[in-house]
Amino acid sequence: MAIIRMLFSLLNNPRVIEKLAESRPIRRAAQITAYALTKAQIAARDALGTTQRSGTLRFPLGMERFRKLRETFVKEVKVGWKDGSKQIKK
């Protein structure tokens, strides 16, 4: 408990924070983090552009496909419900 209080008081001291921010390891960690975030944003933007150009994500979903999907889902739920109720009765 004493260690936690000591760390809390050190990390709330502006002079300690300033000294840590000036240290090479902390600056390097911040640079690496900023680089990784920037690369991830660029990759996500490129992937989104690729999927939009290829037509992978087409909206709205065709009504026929939507109806078939709904019918299949409802049928599976009904079958599962019947099987479950049979197992409960046994």
Number of domains in the chain: 2
The model's pTM is: 0.45
Give the pLDDT of the chain (90 residues) as one tens digit per residue: 788 888 888 888 889 888 888 899 888 998 999 999 898 888 888 877 776 666 555 555 566 777 777 788 888 888 777 777 776 665
What is the model's pLDDT at position 57?
Answer: 55
Statement to judge: residues 45 and 25 lie in one domain = yes
CA distance linking residue 41 with residue 43, whole number of Å: 5
What is the model's pLDDT at position 60?
Answer: 57
Statement to judge: residues 30 and 48 lie in one domain = yes
Statement to judge: residues 84 and 47 lie in one domain = no
CA distance linking residue 41 with residue 47, whole number of Å: 10
Enclosing domain of residue 67: 60-90
CA distance linking residue 30 with residue 36, whole number of Å: 10
Statement to judge: residues 54 and 65 lie in one domain = no
**Residue 17, C-beta contacts closer than 8 angstroms, at least 6 positions apart:** 11
- Structure token pair of residue 43: 């990759």
